Amino acid sequence: MNRLLFLTTLFSTLLLTSCKRSFQPIDYGKEACAHCRMMIMDKKFACEIVDKKGKTYKFDDLICMRKFAHEQSLQENELLLFVAAFNEPDKFIDAKKAILLKADVFKSPMNGGLIAVETAESAAHIQHSVNDAQTMAWHDLK
């Protein structure tokens, strides 16, 4: 009886943890972008989608992530969207809440010129250095 209870508990725990929706680390230089198939190399521009089933899609650029979501007709309210914070590339933030900056000086893999930051202070600091940087949000991307 105890063995059956133990196995049932173990199986339930494994099942629940395998369905957990969360960010999955990107293996730079070894994983390809889900949209353009280029190797994901630059941490400052990496991003990721986690769908409602927990499947992850990794991208080398915000432009690729946006195009992929649109082309696959993914329902954004069912997705977790993560993007690297440009000034802290090992930190991934919610793309729906991130402040995006667009300027030609940001040399992203797909030449989208987009970066993401977490705070208004970070955005202001970058805009002080990059005069033509325009702020936008995830929903502004077409």
**Could you give the CA distance from residue 68 to residue 28 in angstroms, rounded to a whole number?**
20
Q: In the prediction, which pLDDT does 2 show?
A: 62
Q: Domain limits of the chain?
A: 25-140
Evaluate whether 88 touches 99 at the Cβ level (below 8 Å). no
Q: In the prediction, which pLDDT does 20 show?
A: 77
Quick one: CA torsion of 59, 63, 66, 68, rounded to 10 degrees? -60
Q: In the prediction, which pLDDT does 13 show?
A: 44
pLDDT band at residue 60, thresholds of 50, 70 and 90?
very high
Q: In the prediction, which pLDDT does 7 show?
A: 45
